[in-house]
Amino acid sequence: MKQVLNSYKIGITKALSCSGEGFCLLYYWDAPGFVEIQFMNALPHVLWYKMGMIDISKQILHWRNGADEDWAVARELIGRDKIRHALFIAHLALEKTLKAHVCRTTGELAPRIHNLVRLAEIAGLKLSEGQVDLLADVNEFNIEGRYPEMLIPPPSNEEAADYMARIFEVLRCLNNLF
């Protein structure tokens, strides 16, 4: 085992330990009791964090622009009766908007997770019970889009239109917080 020469705490949810050879362990605390360890050669990454070279305003703009683009694509797909794809992309629009809020409220990079409810919690957003329920429901479209063995019948056109309308309202609410 390599001797750890440097250890840096990065925010509340991450810690980074590096050997003198630039090999690092990145620890994520994503939920109580859960630890994910990623191995990476990250000496420049350490310096990037340590020297404060992250421009959070650029991160926020990146996430917001991506969300706007994804929402436009989701609307186009729903108009072409590509329901499964439209709802997957609508999930991405919500995810990116929430990641912009995480950057805004924490001053850190957004975590590499897709759970909309968890992202809203990390951002410290005060959402209604109905909004949180919608985020939980829309999480299912992310799973279905990524893991074909989990396929269930897509919502009907009417159900999809209802989801899209409710997603639009949550996006509008979230965008008004910027």
Residue 131 predicted with pLDDT over 70: yes
Whether residue 94 sits in one domain with residue 164: yes
Whether residue 94 sits in one domain with residue 30: no
- Residue 152 exposed, middle or buried by CB count within 10 Å (0-12, 13-18, 19+): exposed
Full residue range of the structural domain in which residue 148 is found: 56-176
- Residue 166 exposed, middle or buried by CB count within 10 Å (0-12, 13-18, 19+): middle
Helix boundaries (H) for the chain: 43-50, 56-79, 83-106, 116-123, 129-146, 157-176
Residue 1 predicted with pLDDT over 90: no
Whether residue 32 sits in one domain with residue 97: no
pLDDT, tens digit, 9 for 90 and up, residues 159-173: 999 999 999 999 999
Residue 124 predicted with pLDDT over 50: yes
- Average pLDDT over the chain reads 79
Output the six-digit token pair for 47. 């310096």
Whether residue 90 sits in one domain with residue 32: no
* 87 vs 38: which has the higher pLDDT: 87
Whether residue 88 sits in one domain with residue 41: no
| pLDDT-based confidence at residue 147 (cuts at 50, 70, 90) | confident
Total domains present in the chain: 2
